């Protein structure tokens, strides 16, 4: 039995759970979540998760959080399958979930706020091709093998580039595990084995920081172009300095705000504990934005609003 619902203005407790709590991206997600709670009134939100990327630890955190009996959970899944049984059981018991940043292999939540392969290809293929040139070499640093939410950030782009720009050389994807040091080591090995590399694409903020660190040490900043996910404060600083040429914003504030708002709306419309049916439609495509020095204003405003 979950805690008393928020009908007639009664208080609600929302838990946020992520696979990487200290990633600046998720701090902005949490900021949006907290803003939605404040706007709704009489809602408390608290976020939990491991301090490094870890799927096993996230499952453990989720189990512990559910023992606290929150009314609902905003969840950033580090795996499309690892948590399905836990979430299905919780939804059956009356605890609604809303997914952010990625999705599960089955639509157990009220909805999922994340990017789609079609969207990332439509905004990124041509800018990458322009940076690379007709015979360029691209290195891609992903999060980890099999992480569907991360694979969606680069696999469709690889397919499109192979089809439309066959002269571009795309190196095998390497995995930085959201670790700055691991990512820096990958770049160091590429610079030795593939000195012709001219663009590196990192699928999250911590990996991009490692890319910049390695290029700086090698005297290659600006010579090797960098494209990366997440308009975090560190990412913005790298863009301003010219170490990074383009950032991809996945609207983290909007993800957190909209998912939390959806949970609150559901809970106040269904004050008694009951099985929670998956949302229809389950997918909510978030707005992706390419950020360069010329359009920094909106990203800076978002970061400032979150106290970063």
Provide the token pair at 44.
Answer: 């408390």
- pLDDT at position 273: 75
pLDDT at 2: 44
Weakly modelled stretches of the chain, pLDDT under 50: 1-3
* Token pair in block for residue 223: 């010579």
pLDDT tens, position by position, 272-308: 878 999 988 888 888 888 999 888 876 666 666 686 5
- For each of the domains in the chain, give its residue range(s) and CATH number, in order of start: 7-115+251-286 (3.40.50.2300), 117-249 (3.40.50.2300)
Find the helix packing angle between 233-241 and 24-40, rounded to 10°.
130
pTM of the full predicted structure?
A: 0.87
pLDDT of residue 307: 64
Report the C-alpha gap between 227 and 208 in whole angstroms.
Answer: 8
């Amino acid at each position: 039995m979950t805690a008393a619902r928020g009908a007639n203005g009664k208080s609600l407790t929302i838990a946020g759970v992520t696979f990487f709590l200290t990633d600046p991206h998720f701090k902005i997600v949490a900021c949006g979540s907290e803003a939605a709670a404040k706007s709704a009134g009489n809602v408390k939100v608290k976020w939990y998760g491991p301090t490094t990327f870890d799927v096993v630890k996230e499952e453990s955190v989720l189990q512990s959080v559910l023992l606290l009996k929150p009314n609902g959970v905003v969840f950033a899944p580090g795996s499309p399958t690892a948590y399905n049984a836990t979430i299905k059981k919780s939804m059956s018991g009356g605890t609604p979930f809303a997914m952010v940043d990625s999705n599960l292999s089955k639509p157990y939540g009220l909805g999922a706020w994340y990017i789609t392969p079609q969207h990332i290809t439509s905004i990124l293929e041509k800018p990458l091709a322009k940076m690379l040139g007709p015979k360029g070499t691209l290195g891609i640093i992903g999060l980890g093998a099999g992480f569907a939410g991360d694979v969606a950030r680069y696999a469709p782009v690889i397919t499109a580039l192979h089809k439309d720009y066959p002269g571009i050389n795309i190196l095998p994807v390497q995995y930085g595990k959201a670790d700055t040091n691991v990512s820096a080591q990958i770049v160091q090995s590429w610079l030795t084995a593939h000195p012709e590399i001219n663009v590196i694409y990192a699928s999250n903020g911590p990996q991009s920081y490692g890319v910049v660190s390695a290029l700086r040490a090698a005297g290659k900043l600006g010579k090797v172009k960098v494209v990366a996910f997440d308009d975090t404060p560190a990412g913005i600083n790298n863009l301003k300095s010219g170490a990074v040429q383009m950032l991809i914003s996945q609207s983290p504030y909007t993800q957190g705000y909209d998912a939390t708002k959806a949970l609150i709306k559901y809970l106040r419309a269904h004050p008694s504990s009951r099985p929670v049916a998956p949302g229809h439609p389950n997918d909510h495509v978030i707005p992706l934005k390419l950020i360069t020095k010329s359009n920094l204003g909106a990203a800076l405003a978002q970061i400032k609003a979150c106290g970063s």
